[in-house]
Structure 1
């Protein structure tokens, strides 16, 4: 469900990014209280067409029940309809349609040693994770390794610098610029698998890190995961979020299964069940949307995880999956936007 929220502030971060703060009315404050690392979906109707995009919350998760801060970072994407609107038109006082926070790229504050490898706008959810952890857990440490093109293109530069100043003994910052030399610090260049394999053991005790958070472009996240696995890090200590994947990028698909000639989908959503025929070529999300406009989704690209559903019965084929952890797929969860029936009868539960 989407709620109209008023824009409190639009802050220019770089030439191609802004931070947007939204006012949450008293009656919705519990609904919009977020766990560090979660995101929200924003919706806009243009010429009768619905545009949805997902943006991560960058604000710390406040413990103050009276004023949860809802602030997101938005970077301009080439051809991006919503990001273009946000940077060029969105103004204080405007109303934005917003879905309640969701997502499982999260860290509940607890003692331990944590680290993140981020690229570009991948800093957005990690900023919330790190700031909340530092403020609420005095026995925690955090190492942030961030990659950006240039200093001028770096989002939340001041906020990250403030964390380093406030928690010098517990917050470690490593910055790499891919297209600009720094006066101090690491040489410029991309953070690929080979470089990370050499760099990480020199920065921190890799095996002692309780959780790794990887966020950013597909190539960086995949390279970082391979480097960590090569260094002996268990898969369940690695958490990933990818903001965008090009259509031509290799996918993480379920093994191909021949599609039946005719399939029927039964789906439960908000306590109500329905049964519909699956039309040729459409995803299971599209099947539900034909009758239930309230079906949850944001990106339709297998990236955000908003359309996660439990596969109650039957089999499906997923085209892409960049949102669900291995434990989730093993437990029976699928992405409805990427799932196609592989048996005549399929049942999904969006409420689990």
Structure 2
């Protein structure tokens, strides 16, 4: 559900990134209490059309009894309508439609050892995860391995430095710059799979890490996962969130032709309906023709907002960068990427 929230702060982080904070009125405090790592979807109408973009919450989760803070990091994307608007026009006092927090790239604070490999704006949800964990759980440790192009392009430098100062014995920071040499630390270059496989065991006891959080561009996330799997880390301890997919290299499955006359039955907010699936459209597009309130954001298989349970029938997803293998094994699909392979399909958005 979307709510109009007023912008209370716009902070310039780098030449191409800002942090935007929204004021949450008391009656919406419970709706906007987030679990560390979750995101919100922002909505804007331009030239009669609707633009939705998903951004992770970078603020720590509010302690019990405290007011929730909704602060997101936004980096400029070439040709991106919403990010351009956020960096060049969005101002304190503006109203923006904000969806309640969603997402499963999360960590409920608990004792243990945790680590993250992030690239660029992938720091955003991990900053919330690490800050909340270290503040609320004295028995937790966190190692952050971050990759950025240059020091000037690095988001949330002050916030990460504050964690290092506040928790020197429990927070470990490793920074790699891909296009700039550092005076100290690791040599420059990309954090690819071979480099990570050699680097990670030298930094920390890989086998003792209770949870790995990988966030950033598709290439970095895939390389980090392959490195960890090669080091013997079980899949259940690896959590991923992709922030960017290079359209030129991302594999896309070509969906088989839908059976003529396929129908979709979908349940959303307790109400069900049945509609004919038109040729070439995704199941999300079928629902949106009748239900404008169907959940979605990126429509690219990345954010996971349109996650739904496949009650019956058979579908094929064109791409999936949002659902974990255990979710797909349990029957969940991305409606924006799903096409019917059976005459009848039923989805449940409420599960």
Give the TM-score normalised by structure 2. 0.98
CA root-mean-square deviation: 1.1
The answer on whether the counterparts of 1:26 and 1:66 sit within 8 Å (CA) in structure 2 is no
Question: Cα distance, 1:252 vs. partner?
Answer: 7.0
In structure 2, how many angstroms separate the alpha carbons of the residues matched to 1:233 and 1:72? 31
Q: Which runs of 4+ in 1 moved over 4 A?
A: 255-258
Question: Cα distance, 1:205 vs. partner?
Answer: 0.3
The answer on whether the counterparts of 1:15 and 1:153 sit within 8 Å (CA) in structure 2 is yes
* 1:27 corresponding residue in structure 2: 27
1:239-278 to 2 correspondence within 5 Å? 239-251=239-251, 253=253, 259-278=258-277
* 2:287 corresponding residue in structure 1: 288
Question: Cα distance, 1:64 vs. partner?
Answer: 4.1
In structure 1, how many angstroms separate the alpha carbons of the residues matched to 2:52 and 2:130? 27
1:152-171 to 2 correspondence within 5 Å? 152-171=152-171
Deviations 1:151-187 (A, max 9, x none): 0000000000000000000000000000111110000
* 2:128 corresponding residue in structure 1: 128
* 2:303 corresponding residue in structure 1: 304
Deviations 1:2-28 (A, max 9, x none): 100000000000000000000000111
In structure 2, how many angstroms separate the alpha carbons of the residues matched to 1:22 and 1:280? 41
In structure 2, how many angstroms separate the alpha carbons of the residues matched to 1:160 and 1:64? 23
In structure 1, how many angstroms separate the alpha carbons of the residues matched to 2:67 and 2:39? 18
* 2:63 corresponding residue in structure 1: 63
* 1:46 corresponding residue in structure 2: 46
- Larger deviation, residues 55-64 vs 280-289: 55-64
Equivalent pairs, count: 351
* 2:278 corresponding residue in structure 1: 279
Give the TM-score normalised by structure 1. 0.98
In structure 2, how many angstroms separate the alpha carbons of the residues matched to 1:66 and 1:239? 28
**Would the alpha carbon gap of residues 239 and 48 (structure 1) be closer, same or farther in structure 2, given more than 3 Å must change?**
same
Deviations 1:52-96 (A, max 9, x none): 000000000011434101000000000000000000000000001
Q: Please list every run of 5 or more consecutive structure 1 residues that lacks an aligned counterpart in the other structure.
A: none
Q: Please list every run of 5 or more consecutive structure 2 residues that lacks an aligned counterpart in the other structure.
A: none
Q: Does 1:144 align with 2:116?
A: no
The answer on whether the counterparts of 1:29 and 1:65 sit within 8 Å (CA) in structure 2 is no
* 1:341 corresponding residue in structure 2: 340
Question: Cα distance, 1:247 vs. partner?
Answer: 2.6
